[in-house]
Amino acid sequence: MIDRPILYSFRRCPYAIRARLAITASGQRVELREIVLRDKAPEFLETSPSATVPCLKDGGSVLDESLDIMLWALKKSDPDAWLLPEAGTLAEVLDLIGTCDGPFKRHLDRYKYDTRYADADKDTERGRASEFLWLINGRLAEHPWLFGSRACLADFAILPFVRQFANADRDWFDRQDWSALKGWLAAFETSDRFQAVMAKWPRWQSGDEQTLFP
């Protein structure tokens, strides 16, 4: 049996989705272990410092951040040049992802899960999150992808979170004047690339046979 890197994952988690997207794009193959968040496997808790998915164990190394996992995969192989944006630099790509992972995700969480935050107002948080979506829509109005005519790391690092925002209230989202953004998201949601990373895997338990991904 080949000793492959192990990816602890959860199908619906946007962080795990983007990790799986990059692993698939890179052509790497890992052992996928699907975690149930309400009943986390002891082996996962022993591996992940933060007890969150995704988590990649590669030999003696552990990567506990989804963006680090994306970069790990793409630095091994990047056939679609996700790390080489057509317009702009990798630093600019990472800066835009940072805005997504920081302010946008904070407001997204407080919008979608407003009852968990005593000081969160759903409409206010949605409005603040929308500021990032207007920025994205403006970029996409100029070209089909965030950094030019082809996709790069930014697109697939950000798309799962835009999808999460949209699904919080799809009727409201569909009424917004974000034609470029909505077209970008719709193309992603119906793509073979997305479908390939959204299969339903059984919950992993110690002793199970390997589930290889992809």
Tell me the two tokens of residue 203.
């919950």
Q: Note the pLDDT tens digit of each residue in 173-195.
A: 999 999 999 999 999 999 999 99
The yes-or-no verdict on residue 10 having pLDDT over 90 is yes
Q: Note the pLDDT tens digit of each residue in 99-129.
A: 999 999 999 999 999 889 999 999 999 999 9
One domain, residues 203 and 131: no
Rounded-to-integer distance, Cα 29 and Cα 32, Å: 9
> Does any domain span residue 69?
yes
* CATH code, domain carrying 180: 1.20.1050.10
> Does any domain span residue 85?
no
Q: Note the pLDDT tens digit of each residue in 141-173.
A: 999 999 999 999 999 999 999 999 999 999 999
The domain tally of the chain equals: 2
Q: Note the pLDDT tens digit of each residue in 34-87.
A: 999 889 999 999 999 899 999 999 999 999 999 999 999 999 999 999 999 999
The yes-or-no verdict on residue 1 having pLDDT over 60 is no
| The predicted structure's pLDDT at residue 85 | 98
One domain, residues 118 and 190: yes
> Does any domain span residue 102?
yes
Rounded-to-integer distance, Cα 16 and Cα 54, Å: 5
User: pTM of the full predicted structure?
Assistant: 0.96
One domain, residues 181 and 97: yes
* CATH code, domain carrying 24: 3.40.30.10
> Does any domain span residue 150?
yes
3-class secondary structure, 202: coil
What are the b/e assignments for 117-150, b being 16+ CB within 10 Å? eeeeebeebbebbbebbebbbebbeeeebbbeeb
> Does any domain span residue 1?
no
For residue 40, give its domain range: 6-80+196-213
| The predicted structure's pLDDT at residue 3 | 83
> DSSP labels for 24-54?
HHHT--EEEEEPPTTS--HHHHHH-SSS-S-
